[in-house]
Amino acid sequence: MASNEEITGPISQEDVEAADKLKNEANEYFKKQSYNNAIELYTKAIEKNPKNAVFFANRSIANLRLENFGYALSDASKAIELDRSYTKAYYRRAAAYMSLGKYKLALKDFEYVTKVRPNDQDAKMKYTECNKIVKKIAFEKAISFDKKEVNIADSINLDAMTIEDEYVGPALEDGKVTLKFVTDLMEFYKKQNKLHKKYAYKILIDVKAYLQKQPSLVDIKVADDAKFTVCGDIHGQYYDLMNIFKLNGLPSETNPYLFNGDFVDRGSFSVECIFTLFSFKLLYPDHFFMSRGNHETLDMNRMYGFRGEVSSKYTSQMADLFTEVYNWLPLAHCINSRVLVMHGGIMCELLWSDPQPMLGRAPSKRGVGCQFGPDVTNTFLQRNGLDYVIRSHEVKNDGYEIAHDGKCITVFSAPNYCDTVGNLGAFITMNGKDLKPNFTTYEAVPHPDVKPMAYANSFFNMLCQ
């Protein structure tokens, strides 16, 4: 991807016209949600005419859609540098700042627009909405100081919660998750029913208690003749999660699984996904594993829907409890001391980093973490006596990608991500003896008519249009 090029010398009319044509072609790809193709053409347009702010702003929104927040921020800033009055570029940069949790910087952009364009009602509205978010976060931080010594889990009074006579859903047995409970729960969720809050809270409290005793790096032992499955991002796509179990069998002591982060956000059935996965974790603690992803965090949940979904289906208190639980999730797993699995990458920011084809290291396209090349992967594996690494975190057309000479594998298990991308989903199976990765791919299955991001921050969605 082109950097913010130095602008030197005049630009010919021929290049200006060629750039405009490339931009129009890129716009068509953007409309089809083919964002990588759009970015490639916007980049070519910029190479022809690096003085046009629109090209940078358009590439910025395409990068926002791909969650390349670092690139989006850089492009929006370049567009502003080229045209200080270009309102849309400020909106793009504000969206990038918000995606990175930098809400005060987003607010500054809106404030600037309202000052230079005092009659712009849209800018005033966006400034007001962003200001509300900043104040709300400040308020939440302020009251959190008073609660610092109080765990949400410890403050829950399960005895005060009664099970109403009309509730006919799955029930814990003597307060414990059983196989019957989980299988009943999955069928209950397929019909868009809601687990009783008493059982939901009990699951969260029990999961937290278990996770608190676990190390951040969990060792997994798989017998030579045993099968082991690794899944990538699920992102609230509950019906696709059910399809994984249909294709590969339910988790059990003889069919162990590792889900590698990003269980929630984006998809609007995140509550159903996480309670199903946590139930299996409690049922088979030594044969069902869960790594933390970058979406098991407060800022991402606040922006991409999970916090809104939990608050809608249950309470904001439960949303707070989820944040508390997520803080205890393991960061990585090591299979038979030979295969390391983490959500993002082997460098700093385990939950965010990505591989790159070039040698060495580079700043992350996401604006968080860094990118690492095949030489970095190879050195890391040699130093730690590992065969290869598995990570997730990125959409892949085939549901997986083998990079770095087979040493760095990406697996992504949410097909047709956000109902728009058209990618396949995939999971990896291996046996304990050779740990050779085998890939199963699958298409998305139908789901009820609830759109992705239905519970996401509406203001953020508006910014990203």
pLDDT for residue 1 is more than 60: no
Residue keyed to tokens 């298990």: 413
pLDDT digits (tens, 9 = 90+) for 434-450: 999 999 999 999 999 99
Query: What is each CA distance from 146 to 22, 75, 112, 143, 149, in whole angstroms?
Result: 56, 41, 34, 5, 8
Look at residue 465 in the predicted model and tell me its pLDDT: 61
Look at residue 252 in the predicted model and tell me its pLDDT: 98
**3-class DSSP string for 204-273:** HHHHHHHHCCCCCEEEECCCCCCEEEEECECCCCHHHHHHHHHHHCCCECCECEEECCCCCCCCCCHHHH
pLDDT for residue 461 is more than 70: no
Residue range 331-351: mean pLDDT, rounded: 95
pLDDT for residue 394 is more than 80: yes
Residues tagged active-site: 295
Residue range 54-63: mean pLDDT, rounded: 97
Look at residue 120 in the predicted model and tell me its pLDDT: 86
Look at residue 151 in the predicted model and tell me its pLDDT: 87
Greater confidence (234 vs 140) lies with 234
Handedness of CA 314, 315, 318, 323 (dihedral sign): positive
pLDDT for residue 3 is more than 50: no
pLDDT digits (tens, 9 = 90+) for 71-123: 999 999 999 999 998 999 999 999 899 888 898 999 999 999 899 889 988 88
pLDDT for residue 6 is more than 90: no
Angle at 389 between CA 238 and CA 420, to 5 degrees: 35
Look at residue 149 in the predicted model and tell me its pLDDT: 59
pLDDT for residue 401 is more than 50: yes
Q: How many Cβ atoms sit within 10 Å of the Cβ of residue 152?
A: 20
Look at residue 400 in the predicted model and tell me its pLDDT: 98
Question: In whole numbers, what is the pLDDT of the chain averaged over residues?
Answer: 93
Residue range 384-388: mean pLDDT, rounded: 98
Q: Cβ neighbours of residue 161 under 8 Å, at least 6 residues apart?
A: 197, 198, 201
CB 332 within 8 A of CB 342: yes
Which domains, ranges and CATH numbers included, belong to the chain? 13-143 (1.25.40.10), 174-460 (3.60.21.10)
Going by pLDDT thresholds of 50, 70 and 90, the confidence category of residue 4 is very low
pLDDT digits (tens, 9 = 90+) for 127-186: 898 898 889 888 877 776 555 557 899 999 999 999 999 999 999 999 999 999 999 999
pLDDT digits (tens, 9 = 90+) for 244-276: 999 999 999 999 999 999 999 999 999 999 999
Handedness of CA 204, 190, 253, 258 (dihedral sign): negative
CB 76 within 8 A of CB 93: yes
